[in-house]
Amino acid sequence: MSRLILKNVRLSYAHLFDPYSVSGEDPKYSAALLIDKADTETLKEIQKAIKAAEQDGVAKFGSRWKPARTPLRDGDAEGKGGAYEGVYFMNARSNTKPGIVDRKRRAITDETEVYSGCFANVSVTFYPYSTSGNSGIACGLGNVQKVRDGDALDGRVSAEDEFAVLSDEDDAADFGGLLD
């Protein structure tokens, strides 16, 4: 397997604390990893690791094996929009819960600390598969190190940001004096 540590990628659809089921499949820990298209060094490393996994596939499944799918996808070409504009992305999954740490390598247990939209260093592995007539290269999720916060991608805002501070006069006006 080809193992890489992807630095400063943005997390999307992050399910790192509890496994999540996609389309009725077995639940897995997962995240989409967004890589800026300008990060050519990381993209070269990913392509190199995918090529190595392709060679592993030929060795494991025979010379006729060809990957129909690779994990690296173009957010612009797929028309996903929003946070997926100007990035490549990969879906990384694992049956095993990833270790999650902060910048100082202290364990993070608060699920609100690592979320879709934050930036992280993520270890991944690339490996070949061939099941039920499908073949390709998959991306396995390893450990996660939160690097920094980012705008949440779930569309939610905090209650503090969504509402204004109300005064007692506001209460009386809102309820037509019923609270007096």
Higher pLDDT, 157 or 50: 50
Q: How many independent structural domains does the chain possess? A: 1
CATH code where residue 12 lies: 2.40.50.140
The answer to whether position 150 is within a domain reads yes
Beta bridge partners of 28: 20
Residue 180 lies in a domain: no
Top pLDDT among 104 and 79 is at 104
Is the pLDDT at 172 greater than 60, yes or no?
no
Residue 170 forms part of a structural domain? no
Cα–Cα distance for residue pair 84/9, rounded to 1 Å: 12
Portion of the chain with pLDDT greater than 70, in percent: 93
- What mean pLDDT comes out for the span 122-136? 93
pLDDT over 70 (residue 171) = no
d(CA 100, CA 97): 9
In a domain, 169, yes or no: no
Asked if the structure places residue 172 within a domain, the reply is: no
Q: What digits encode the pLDDT tens for the residues 24-66?
A: 889 999 999 999 999 999 999 999 999 999 999 999 999 889 9
Paired residues of 121 in beta bridges: 145
Query: In terms of Cα–Cα distance, which of 145, 143, 150, 151 is closest to 103?
Result: 145
**Per-residue confidence (pLDDT) for residue 125, from 0 to 100:** 97
Mean pLDDT of the region 118-132: 95
With bands split at pLDDT 50, 70 and 90, how would you rate the model's confidence at 176? low
Q: Does 175 fall in a domain? A: no
Q: Which helix (H) or strand (E) holds 67?
A: none
Q: Supply the pLDDT for residue 174.
A: 59
Domain residues for the domain of 141 are: 2-155
Q: Is residue 163 domain-resident? A: no
Does 167 map to a domain? no
